């Protein structure tokens, strides 16, 4: 979907996925704390492959010191209008400012690439780290969507954050 295949950041690179990313993508996403922030995560290599190489989305792998560390991507892209941001980082790479820097870079890339006017994301209300990332990357809290998700029989609220231009 994109001609740009490499974005260099401080302490990481964003690059396109390759087949060797499928196993770490699957394995890291089985982490309980990571899983509770998403509606679902891939459970098999085939699902992980489909997610990583889904042509409807624009996904980059976050690579740190040569290692697969997580992903950042846009989905539901409507060129000239809006898209939804999603990201995650494996536990051992967290707390170093990587996702804040990646979100800033990737947001700039996506606004330009798709001529977007709005990028938005949904965050569980308990996900403080993600709220901090979005706020530092210039996203604004627009509101609380009450009982927006139903997961394992439980209704959960989401915050919606957006950046417009």
Ligand X SMILES: CC(C)(COP(=O)(O)OP(=O)(O)OC[C@H]1O[C@@H](n2cnc3c(N)ncnc32)[C@H](O)[C@@H]1OP(=O)(O)O)[C@@H](O)C(=O)NCCC(=O)NCCS
Residues 5-24 that bind ligand X (CB under 6 A): none
Report the Cα 29 to chain-centroid distance in Å.
Answer: 12
H/E stretch holding 45:
helix 45-52
Q: According to CB under 6 A, which one of 22, 130, 139, 163 is a site residue for ligand X?
A: 130
Choosing from 11, 79, 95, 143, the residue that interacts with ligand X (CB under 6 A) is: 95
Nearer to ligand X, 37 or 63 (CB): 37
Among 71, 77, 123, 163, binds ligand X (CB under 6 A): 123
For position 41 contacting ligand X by CB under 6 A, the verdict is no
Among 89, 105, 116, 119, binds ligand X (CB under 6 A): 89
Tell me how far, at minimum, the Cβ of 160 lies from ligand X, in Å.
Answer: 11
Q: How far is residue 34's CA from residue 17's CA, in Å, rounded to a whole number? A: 20
Task: Provide, rounded to whole angstroms, the least separation between the CB of residue 22 and ligand X.
Answer: 18
Query: Least distance to ligand X from the beta carbon of 87, Å?
Result: 5
Among 15, 16, 82, 94, binds ligand X (CB under 6 A): 94
Question: Which residues is 6 bridged to in the sheet?
Answer: 15
Can you tell me which residue has the tokens 């087949």? 19
Between the CA atoms of 33, 38, 39 and 40, what dihedral angle is there, to the nearest 10 degrees? -70
What are the distances in angstroms from CA 124 to CA 46, 77, 99, 129, 134? 27, 22, 17, 10, 13
Strand 67-78 with 118-124, pairing: unpaired
Residue 3 or 154: the one with the smaller Cβ distance to ligand X is: 154
Give residues in contact with ligand X (CB under 6 A): 34, 37, 87-89, 94-100, 121, 123, 127-130, 132-133
């Amino acid at each position: 979907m994109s001609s740009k295949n490499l974005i260099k950041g401080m302490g990481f690179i964003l690059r396109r996925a390759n087949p060797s990313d499928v196993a770490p993508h699957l394995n890291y996403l089985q982490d309980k704390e990571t899983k509770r922030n998403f509606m679902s995560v891939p459970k098999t290599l085939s699902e992980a492959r489909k997610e990583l190489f889904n042509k409807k989305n624009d996904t980059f792998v976050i690579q740190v010191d040569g290692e697969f560390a997580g992903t950042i991507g846009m989905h539901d892209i409507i060129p000239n209008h809006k898209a939804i941001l999603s990201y995650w980082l494996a536990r051992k790479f967290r707390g170093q400012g990587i996702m804040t820097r990646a979100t800033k870079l990737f947001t700039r890339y996506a606004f330009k690439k798709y001529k977007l006017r709005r990028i938005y994301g949904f965050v569980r209300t308990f996900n403080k780290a993600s709220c901090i990332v979005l706020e530092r990357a210039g996203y604004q809290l627009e509101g609380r969507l009450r009982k927006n998700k139903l997961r394992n029989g439980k209704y959960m609220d989401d915050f919606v954050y957006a950046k417009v231009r």
